[in-house]
Amino acid sequence: MLIRAVLIRGSLILVKCKEAIVAAPDYLRPAGVSDGTKSSSGTASNYGLFNRPSVTGLVSAALDLITALMAGVFAIRLRELAPLQTNAWDTYPHNAHSSASVFMTYILWFGVCLVFFLRTYGLYRPIQQMSGLHELRMTIHATIVAGLTLCGTLYLSSGAYISRLQIALTLVLTFVLLAVRRMIRRHMMYKRFREGIETRNVLIVGAGRVAHALRNHLMSLDHLGFRFKGFVAITEEESESGDADIIGDFRNCLTLARTLFVDEIFLSVPADKKLVLGLVQEARGAGIDVRVVPDLYDGLAWNAPVEYVGQFPTIPLHRKDFPIGAYLVKRALDLTLATLGLMALSPLLLAIAIWVKLDCAGPVFYRAKRIGRKGRTFDCYKFRTMVTNADKLKADLEHMNERKGILFKIVNDPRITKCGIKLRKYSLDELPQLYNVVRGDMSLVGPRPPIASEVEQYELSHLKRLDVLPGLTGLWQVEARQDPSFDSYISLDTAYVENWSLGLDLKILVRTVGVVITGTGS
């Protein structure tokens, strides 16, 4: 009875597992027009992590596992041929005497992890679906990740006595052996394809520009093993075009495919959904793959890879390389210097705050809405240098504006307080903006943050200065601070955005020190 109960319990668990797999979210199961009962052979859906592996995939995985074990054996032999005493790689004197069987147990675990990551990266797909360079790059990734997993296992299982030199040799030898074996396999497959062995016959639905471009592309890459068999017309105009490569129309597509032993059908033009679904159902029954070639924006997407945004396939037509590493360094520099600045200048900040409070009634700080990166609004802080109703008096002083264009500036502004004159002269009023830098609203270097009324008058080209974080100082502040021209103001900020580098930021910071000491502010 106990055995029977265990068997029943095990059956229930298997049923639940099957239900869980069937009910798994779509991002764990390849999407397609099929109902999921049977995937067409040879398509990418058969090579996902959670799909049943093919026979060739299992053979490749077994060879990869054997390769990892061979690399471990070679590492032991090399370690024995070049015995080392305590050094940077072997901190434990008894490493040379560690059990080879224990070491190989860890290498077996490494091999299993390696096969898992190789499958995760899609390296058991047919070689036509990836380039040799991509395969090599993903092999490096899989080896490194599996190696890190092995190191973590050694740490958690108290396997520190295992020779680190042997581990390093195993990783290097594994990658070299994998790369060499895959390169040889790829070379042999290319040679067989060129000789017409194990090739895949292709039929293209449609006879337009995209179809001809696809035909020419496949014929130019004969080493990938695709053999063009003809076009299938989908419209009367194509049928009557007189193209010698058109061998039939959409109605007898499957008959032609079976007659010509076609392995794949490429849809190169949009067609009625019902016709396509019918073709896919019939092709599935005949064991023929069906692919769609998107004709997007006059061929712009032909050479672009398909990327998924959630569950939606997208084709990137252009991507701007974002220097994430340099921006992380810039942010780290901003955060460090601003924090140190606030700590070091805290006595000065306190003295200025007392001075502002004693000089003129009102709050110590002036908080104003400013426009930051990508048009985001934030509170910008300064020591108050004007009377409390300065914003209301601005309209009465518009006729005294000495700047050209959008900017507003008066040298002898009657709204400025006595202490405000000194603070502005040496730019001390902007020291509280170090707090904005710490918060991430601003950077140490960048275009000055504008007010909303200025941005409303910007031309389209002027908005480029809002592509980066505003700064405490910038190129305009050190180059043409007294220049009243708005065009000069915009051109210098735009030049900074287009030519940004960490070196440029450091140069501006150094020059800012001189500008502050000489007191050129106003």
Residue 26 lies in a domain: no
- Does 291 lie in the same domain as 236? yes
Predicted confidence (pLDDT) at residue 432 exceeds the cutoff of 90: yes
Angle between helices 132-156 and 164-194 (to 10 degrees): 160
- At CA 133, angle to CA 130 and CA 134, rounded to 5? 45
Q: What is the CATH number of the domain that holds 302?
A: 3.40.50.720
397, 390 in Cβ contact below 8 A? no
Within a domain: residue 302? yes
In this prediction, residue 295 carries a pLDDT of 65
Q: Which residues span the domain enclosing 269? A: 200-314
pTM over 0.85: no
Per-residue pLDDT band for 22 (boundaries 50, 70, 90) equals very low
SS3 248: strand
* 301 and 330 together in one domain: no
Confidence of residue 41 (pLDDT cuts 50, 70, 90): very low
Residues 175 and 216 in one domain: no
What does the alpha-carbon distance between residue 336 and residue 99 come to, in Å, rounded to a whole number? 49
Considering 259, 283, 314, which residue would you say is the last residue of a domain? 314
Is 184 in the same domain as 143?
yes
How far apart CA 267 and CA 207 sit, in angstroms, is 10
How confident is residue 344, by pLDDT bands cut at 50, 70 and 90?
A: very high
Is residue 340, in this structure, part of any structural domain at all? yes
What's the pLDDT tens digit per position in 396-422?
666 566 555 566 666 677 788 888 888
Do residues 176 and 264 both lie within one domain? no
Report percent pLDDT > 70 for the chain.
73
Residue at 25 is within a domain: no
Instruction: Look at residues 188, 194, 260, 257 and name the one whose alpha carbon lies nearest to residue 221.
Output: 194
- The reply to whether 117 and 231 lie within a common domain is no
Position of tokens 């058991």?
124
Domain contains 32: no
Residues 301 and 334 in one domain: no
d(CA 79, CA 280) in angstroms, rounded, equals 57
Dump the DSSP string for 284-308. HHHT-EEEE----TTTTTTTPPPEE
Closest CA to 168 of 181, 156, 189, 151: 151
Q: 249-287: per-residue pLDDT in tens?
A: 888 888 888 888 888 888 887 777 788 888 888 888 888
pLDDT tens for 87-141 read 444 444 444 444 778 888 888 999 999 999 988 888 887 776 777 888 888 899 9
User: Is residue 24 assigned to a domain?
Assistant: no
Measure the CA dihedral 310/314/320/325, to 10°.
Answer: 30
**Whether 90 and 235 share a structural domain:** no
Last-in-domain residue among 155, 170, 194:
194
If asked whether residues 400 and 285 sit together in one domain, one would say no
| Coil, strand or helix at 226 | strand
- Domain-embedded: residue 490: yes
pLDDT, residue 320, reads 60
pLDDT recorded at residue 30: 34
On whether both 344 and 472 belong to a single domain, the answer is yes
Q: Is 286 among the domain residues?
A: yes
Based on the fold, state whether residues 138 and 225 are members of the same structural domain: no
Question: How many domains is the chain partitioned into structurally?
Answer: 3
Among 286, 314, 342, the domain boundary falls at: 314
CA nearest neighbour of 366 among 351, 347, 350, 353: 353
Same domain, 365 and 507: yes
Residue 18, pLDDT > 60, answer no
pLDDT reported for residue 336: 94
